[in-house]
Amino acid sequence: MEFFLKHKIVILRSVGSLMLVVGFVVYFWSMPKKGMSANQRAAANVARMEAKVAGSSSKKSPAKASDSKFLDELKKTQATQLKYLTIMLMVLGVGSLGYSFIKKEEPEV
């Protein structure tokens, strides 16, 4: 406890800057990239092959249950959670940095 009180300003500045940098890195690293990912490309290829096979056969196959709505909602929810987490991390980092620069009056003994 004595160590923390002695080096409080340095610790707060270090933790604040670390949280701010990590927040920015995670936020910009998780930004969506242009184009299709390998998984999306593979899913499109599978769908195209299934459509070609279904179109060439005369026998009707039963419709498959689509999980695409569930997966879309899951991905959207995860993206929102990651966005809120990084924003909260950056706000805490800025708050910690700002608090470390505030001058406190020393009590007279």
The percent helix, strand, coil of the chain (3-state, each to 5) is 75, 0, 25
Verdict on whether the full-model pTM lies above 0.75: no
Residue 86 contacts residue 9 (beta carbons within 8 Å) = no
Domain parsing of the chain, residue ranges:
2-56+66-101
Q: Is 64 helix (H, G, I), strand (E, B) or coil?
A: coil
What is the token pair recorded at 54?
A: 């279904």
Distance of CA 21 to the CA centre of its chain: 14
**One-letter amino acid for residue 26 of the chain:** V
Question: Which pLDDT tens digit goes with each residue over 61-108?
Answer: 555 556 688 888 998 898 889 889 888 988 988 888 888 888 777 776
Question: Which pLDDT tens digit goes with each residue over 15-44?
Answer: 888 988 888 888 787 766 666 677 878 888
